[in-house]
Structure 1
Amino acid sequence: MNVAVFLISLGATCRITRFITKDTLAAGFRVWTADRFGDDSRAAYLVSCGWCASIWVAAAVTPTAFMAGDTLAFKIGATALTLSYITGLASSHVD
Protein backbone atom coordinates (compact mmCIF):
# COMPACT_ATOMS: atom_id res chain seq x y z
CA MET A 1 0.00 0.00 0.00
CA ASN A 2 1.47 3.34 -0.98
CA VAL A 3 1.17 6.54 1.04
CA ALA A 4 -1.61 8.01 -1.11
CA VAL A 5 -3.78 4.89 -0.76
CA PHE A 6 -3.07 4.85 2.99
CA LEU A 7 -4.14 8.48 3.37
CA ILE A 8 -7.36 8.14 1.40
CA SER A 9 -8.10 4.93 3.31
CA LEU A 10 -7.62 6.86 6.54
CA GLY A 11 -9.97 9.59 5.36
CA ALA A 12 -12.54 7.03 4.23
CA THR A 13 -12.35 5.29 7.61
CA CYS A 14 -12.87 8.62 9.39
CA ARG A 15 -15.85 9.55 7.25
CA ILE A 16 -17.60 6.19 7.46
CA THR A 17 -17.06 6.10 11.22
CA ARG A 18 -18.44 9.62 11.59
CA PHE A 19 -21.45 8.70 9.47
CA ILE A 20 -22.25 5.65 11.61
CA THR A 21 -21.72 7.30 14.99
CA LYS A 22 -22.81 10.93 14.56
CA ASP A 23 -24.62 11.81 11.32
CA THR A 24 -28.34 12.46 11.37
CA LEU A 25 -28.85 10.25 8.33
CA ALA A 26 -27.69 7.22 10.35
CA ALA A 27 -29.72 8.12 13.45
CA GLY A 28 -32.39 5.61 12.49
CA PHE A 29 -29.78 2.86 12.40
CA ARG A 30 -28.52 3.84 15.87
CA VAL A 31 -32.08 3.93 17.22
CA TRP A 32 -32.87 0.58 15.61
CA THR A 33 -29.74 -0.91 17.18
CA ALA A 34 -30.67 0.42 20.63
CA ASP A 35 -34.25 -0.84 20.24
CA ARG A 36 -33.10 -4.25 19.05
CA PHE A 37 -30.33 -4.86 21.58
CA GLY A 38 -31.14 -2.41 24.40
CA ASP A 39 -29.93 1.10 25.19
CA ASP A 40 -27.15 -0.19 27.42
CA SER A 41 -26.02 -2.98 25.09
CA ARG A 42 -22.59 -3.31 23.59
CA ALA A 43 -24.10 -3.04 20.12
CA ALA A 44 -25.75 0.30 20.93
CA TYR A 45 -22.49 1.53 22.42
CA LEU A 46 -20.56 0.36 19.35
CA VAL A 47 -22.65 2.40 16.91
CA SER A 48 -22.38 5.54 19.01
CA CYS A 49 -18.68 5.40 19.95
CA GLY A 50 -16.21 6.65 17.34
CA TRP A 51 -13.29 4.82 18.93
CA CYS A 52 -15.25 1.58 19.00
CA ALA A 53 -16.77 1.75 15.53
CA SER A 54 -13.55 2.88 13.86
CA ILE A 55 -11.73 -0.39 14.54
CA TRP A 56 -14.45 -2.31 12.71
CA VAL A 57 -14.63 0.18 9.87
CA ALA A 58 -10.83 0.04 9.55
CA ALA A 59 -11.02 -3.76 9.58
CA ALA A 60 -13.19 -3.54 6.45
CA VAL A 61 -11.34 -0.69 4.74
CA THR A 62 -7.82 -2.09 5.23
CA PRO A 63 -8.14 -5.33 3.25
CA THR A 64 -10.15 -3.49 0.61
CA ALA A 65 -7.33 -0.96 0.27
CA PHE A 66 -4.72 -3.70 0.02
CA MET A 67 -6.69 -5.60 -2.62
CA ALA A 68 -8.20 -2.73 -4.62
CA GLY A 69 -6.21 0.35 -3.60
CA ASP A 70 -4.72 0.78 -7.06
CA THR A 71 -8.05 0.64 -8.87
CA LEU A 72 -9.78 3.75 -10.11
CA ALA A 73 -13.03 2.78 -8.38
CA PHE A 74 -11.37 2.57 -4.97
CA LYS A 75 -9.46 5.81 -5.49
CA ILE A 76 -12.57 7.72 -6.52
CA GLY A 77 -14.72 6.37 -3.68
CA ALA A 78 -12.10 6.75 -0.96
CA THR A 79 -11.09 10.21 -2.20
CA ALA A 80 -14.72 11.37 -2.17
CA LEU A 81 -15.14 10.10 1.41
CA THR A 82 -11.87 11.76 2.44
CA LEU A 83 -12.83 15.08 0.87
CA SER A 84 -16.23 14.89 2.56
CA TYR A 85 -14.58 14.33 5.93
CA ILE A 86 -12.07 17.14 5.49
CA THR A 87 -14.78 19.52 4.30
CA GLY A 88 -16.91 18.69 7.33
CA LEU A 89 -13.98 19.34 9.66
CA ALA A 90 -13.18 22.61 7.94
CA SER A 91 -16.77 23.84 7.94
CA SER A 92 -17.19 23.10 11.63
CA HIS A 93 -14.05 25.09 12.47
CA VAL A 94 -14.44 27.93 9.96
CA ASP A 95 -18.16 28.69 10.29
Structure 2
Amino acid sequence: MNLVVFFLSLGISCRITRFITKDTLAAGIRSWVAARFGDDSKPAYLVTCGWCTSIWVAAAVTPLGFWAGETVAFQLVAMVLTLSYLTGLAANWLD
Protein backbone atom coordinates (compact mmCIF):
# COMPACT_ATOMS: atom_id res chain seq x y z
CA MET A 1 0.00 0.00 0.00
CA ASN A 2 1.53 3.31 -1.05
CA LEU A 3 1.16 6.57 0.87
CA VAL A 4 -1.64 7.91 -1.35
CA VAL A 5 -3.74 4.79 -0.85
CA PHE A 6 -3.00 4.87 2.88
CA PHE A 7 -4.22 8.46 3.25
CA LEU A 8 -7.26 7.82 1.06
CA SER A 9 -8.06 4.77 3.20
CA LEU A 10 -7.71 6.96 6.28
CA GLY A 11 -10.16 9.42 4.75
CA ILE A 12 -12.63 6.64 4.01
CA SER A 13 -12.37 5.37 7.58
CA CYS A 14 -12.86 8.84 9.04
CA ARG A 15 -15.87 9.66 6.88
CA ILE A 16 -17.67 6.34 7.34
CA THR A 17 -17.03 6.40 11.09
CA ARG A 18 -18.38 9.94 11.31
CA PHE A 19 -21.42 8.96 9.24
CA ILE A 20 -22.27 5.99 11.46
CA THR A 21 -21.70 7.70 14.81
CA LYS A 22 -22.81 11.31 14.26
CA ASP A 23 -24.64 12.09 11.00
CA THR A 24 -28.36 12.71 11.05
CA LEU A 25 -28.84 10.46 8.02
CA ALA A 26 -27.64 7.49 10.09
CA ALA A 27 -29.76 8.36 13.14
CA GLY A 28 -32.27 5.70 12.10
CA ILE A 29 -29.57 3.04 12.27
CA ARG A 30 -28.49 4.18 15.73
CA SER A 31 -32.12 4.32 16.91
CA TRP A 32 -32.82 0.85 15.54
CA VAL A 33 -29.77 -0.61 17.31
CA ALA A 34 -30.77 1.08 20.59
CA ALA A 35 -34.37 -0.16 20.27
CA ARG A 36 -33.27 -3.68 19.36
CA PHE A 37 -30.55 -4.13 22.00
CA GLY A 38 -31.28 -1.40 24.58
CA ASP A 39 -29.88 2.08 25.08
CA ASP A 40 -27.16 0.88 27.45
CA SER A 41 -26.12 -2.15 25.39
CA LYS A 42 -22.71 -2.71 23.84
CA PRO A 43 -24.11 -2.63 20.28
CA ALA A 44 -25.76 0.75 21.02
CA TYR A 45 -22.48 2.03 22.41
CA LEU A 46 -20.62 0.70 19.38
CA VAL A 47 -22.67 2.77 16.90
CA THR A 48 -22.22 5.97 18.93
CA CYS A 49 -18.53 5.68 19.87
CA GLY A 50 -16.13 6.90 17.19
CA TRP A 51 -13.21 5.05 18.73
CA CYS A 52 -15.14 1.78 18.79
CA THR A 53 -16.69 2.07 15.35
CA SER A 54 -13.43 3.12 13.70
CA ILE A 55 -11.80 -0.22 14.54
CA TRP A 56 -14.43 -2.11 12.57
CA VAL A 57 -14.52 0.39 9.73
CA ALA A 58 -10.72 0.30 9.42
CA ALA A 59 -10.80 -3.52 9.52
CA ALA A 60 -13.05 -3.44 6.44
CA VAL A 61 -11.25 -0.61 4.61
CA THR A 62 -7.68 -1.91 5.04
CA PRO A 63 -8.05 -5.09 2.98
CA LEU A 64 -10.00 -3.13 0.39
CA GLY A 65 -7.13 -0.65 0.16
CA PHE A 66 -4.61 -3.46 -0.31
CA TRP A 67 -6.78 -5.27 -2.85
CA ALA A 68 -8.13 -2.36 -4.91
CA GLY A 69 -6.15 0.68 -3.78
CA GLU A 70 -4.40 1.16 -7.10
CA THR A 71 -7.62 1.13 -9.13
CA VAL A 72 -9.22 4.29 -10.44
CA ALA A 73 -12.60 3.30 -8.97
CA PHE A 74 -11.20 2.95 -5.45
CA GLN A 75 -9.29 6.21 -5.70
CA LEU A 76 -12.29 8.16 -7.01
CA VAL A 77 -14.64 6.91 -4.28
CA ALA A 78 -11.95 7.34 -1.64
CA MET A 79 -11.22 10.88 -2.79
CA VAL A 80 -14.90 11.82 -2.61
CA LEU A 81 -15.20 10.47 0.94
CA THR A 82 -11.90 12.01 2.03
CA LEU A 83 -12.78 15.42 0.59
CA SER A 84 -16.21 15.20 2.20
CA TYR A 85 -14.63 14.55 5.59
CA LEU A 86 -12.05 17.33 5.22
CA THR A 87 -14.68 19.79 4.01
CA GLY A 88 -16.81 18.99 7.07
CA LEU A 89 -13.85 19.59 9.36
CA ALA A 90 -13.05 22.88 7.63
CA ALA A 91 -16.66 24.03 7.77
CA ASN A 92 -16.86 23.31 11.50
CA TRP A 93 -13.55 25.05 12.11
CA LEU A 94 -14.47 28.11 10.04
CA ASP A 95 -17.98 28.53 11.53
Report if TM-score (shorter chain) is over 0.5. Answer: yes
Deviating beyond 2 angstroms after TM superposition, the runs of 4 or more aligned structure 1 residues are none
> In the TM superposition, what is the alpha-carbon distance from 1:81 to its structure 2 partner?
0.3
Shift of 1:88: 0.1
SS of 1:30 mapped into structure 2: helix
Instruction: Give the superposed CA RMSD.
Output: 0.4
**Identity percentage over the alignment?**
69
Q: Which amino acid aligns with 1:53?
A: T
Which structure 1 residue ranges, 5 or more long, are not aligned? none
> Does 2:12 match 1:12?
yes
After TM superposition, list the pairs within 5 Å mapping 1:1-95 onto structure 2: 1-95=1-95
Q: CA deviation at 1:39?
A: 0.5
2:40 counterpart SS class? coil
Q: How many matched pairs?
A: 95
Distance 1:5 1:38 in 2: 38
Give a deviation string over 1:70-90, Cα, whole Å, max 9, x none: 011100011100000000000
C-alpha separation in 2, matches of 1:32 and 1:65: 30
Residues in 2 aligned to 1:78 and 1:47: alpha-carbon distance in whole angstroms: 22
TM score, norm. by length of structure 2: 0.99
Q: Tell me, what secondary structure is at the counterpart of 1:40?
A: coil
Residue 24 of structure 1 and its aligned partner are, at CA, apart by: 0.2
Tell me the distance in 2 between the aligned counterparts of 1:35 and 1:9. 32
Deviation at 1:59, TM superposition (A): 0.2
Q: Which runs of 5+ in 2 are unaligned?
A: none
Instruction: Summarize deviations over 1:23-68 as a string: whole Å, max 9, x none.
Output: 0000000000000011111000000000000000000000000000
